[in-house]
Amino acid sequence: MPSIRDVANLAGVAVGTVSRVINNSGSVKPATRRKVEEAIQQLNYIPNEIARNFKMRKSKMVALLLPSIWNPFFSELAYYIEDELDREGFKLMLCNSGGKPEKELYYLDMLQQNKVAGIVGITYNDIENNISNNIPIVSIDRHFTKNITCVTSDNYEGGRLALRELVKAGSRKPAFLGSVTSVFSETMKRKEGFIDEAKSLGINYTIFEKPDPVLDEEAYFTEFLNDYRDIDGVFAITDMFAAQFIERASKLGIRVPQDVKVIGYDGIQNHSFFHPILSTIRQPVEDMARMTIKLLFKKIEGETLEKDVYRLPVIFRQGETT
C-alpha cells in the first residue's frame, strides 16, 4: 500500500508538495503538479482517509441512531438522509438500537469513541445527559432541551387535521388510539391536536391508550373493540397501529370504512399494491430528512440555530379507509 511518501520519492518532491497537489491547497507549479500526478498514477496511490481523519481530528461520518431500520418509515428516512449526506461527501453509519435504552447508551458511547462528526438520533432515552462532549446532534420527533435540535412534522396540526377529516367522513364518535411512548416524544402532540379540535367543534371523543409499550397488542385492541362499540372513527398514532386495528376489527366483523373510518399517521405506503390503502396524515419524510442533515451541517460548522424545534407541515392523504 503506497503512501504519500512513496509518491513524493518517485516524483522527486517533498511530501508537503504532494499533499498540496492532492488537496488543491497552496500553490504548486503546473510542471510539478504533473510530475506528482504521474507518480500517483504509476503507484496507484490512494490517500488514506483514516490517517487524514486522525491528523485533522475530525471525520466525515454521521451516525443515524434509530430503533430499527426494518420499520418502513425509518428506512425511507434513512434513504433520504444518506442521499443528503452524500452530497457533501459525508458517510452514514447505521445503528439499530431496538429502542432499548441500554443499547442506545452503548451506541452513544461508541460514537463518541469514533469521533463521528454528528449524530441523528431517534431515541427513547434522554440522549442529552449521556453525551459528555459536544458532538452535534439533531433529533427527529424527540424534543429534549436546547442543545439538541429537533425536526418533526407538525404533529399538533396533524392531530387536528385527522379529527376534521374523520368528521368530514361522517364520524360522530371518533377515538384516538395510541401507545404511551417517551415523554420526550413529539408524537404525543398528535393526541393534543385531536383533542383540541374535537373540543372546538364540540364533538365527543374517546382516548384509549396502550399504557405499556410491551403490552400485548391483541389484548389492547380487543379490549377497545369490546368496550367502545359505538365508536365510528379512529385516528391511530401511526399507520402500523392503524393497520393492526383494522385487522383486528375485520376479524370481529367490523367493516372499514363502512362501520368505522380509520386514519393513520406517517404515510408509509408508497405503493398502492396492497389494500386497504390507508387514509393517513402524511409526513413530509424527504423534507424532514434533508432539513435534518442541513441543520446538522450547520451545527457541525459551529453555527447556532435560531430555533429548537423545526416543524414541517403535513397533509391528509385520502385512501380507502375513510
Partner DNA sequence: ATACATTATTGAAACGTTTCCAATCCAGTG
Partner DNA sequence: CACTGGATTGGAAACGTTTCAATAATGTAT
Rounded CA separation 245/242 (Å): 5
Kindly state the cell numbers that stand for 213. 409499550
Binders of a second copy among residues 192 to 251 (CB under 8 A) are: 240, 243-244, 246-247
Should residue 260 be labelled a site residue for a second copy when binding is judged by CB under 8 A? no
Should residue 14 be labelled a site residue for a second copy when binding is judged by CB under 8 A? no
Rounded CA separation 244/303 (Å): 43
Which residues of the shown chain bind DNA in the complex (CB under 7 A)? Answer: 1, 3-5, 12-17, 19-20, 22-23, 25-29, 31-33, 45-48, 51-52, 54-57
Only one of the segments 43-51, 143-151, 160-168, 207-215 lies at the binding site for a second copy (rule: CB under 8 A); that segment is: 43-51
82 binds, among a second copy, DNA, none (CB under 5 to 8 A by kind): a second copy
> Letter for the amino acid at 14?
A
3-state class (DSSP) for residue 306: coil
Kindly state the cell numbers that stand for 179. 401507545
Residue 131 CB, nearest distance to a second copy (Å)?
11
Rounded CA separation 283/157 (Å): 11
Question: Which of residues 83 and 192 has its CB atom nearest to a second copy in the complex?
Answer: 83
Q: For 283, phi and psi rounded to 5 degrees? A: -80, 145
Answer whether 141's CB lies under 8 Å from 122's CB: yes
Should residue 3 be labelled a site residue for a second copy when binding is judged by CB under 8 A? no
Strands 309-312 and 315-317: unpaired
Q: Site residues (CB under 8 A) for a second copy?
A: 1, 44, 46-51, 53-54, 59, 61, 64, 68-70, 72, 75-76, 78-79, 82-83, 86, 91-96, 110, 112-115, 132-133, 240, 243-244, 246-247, 269-276
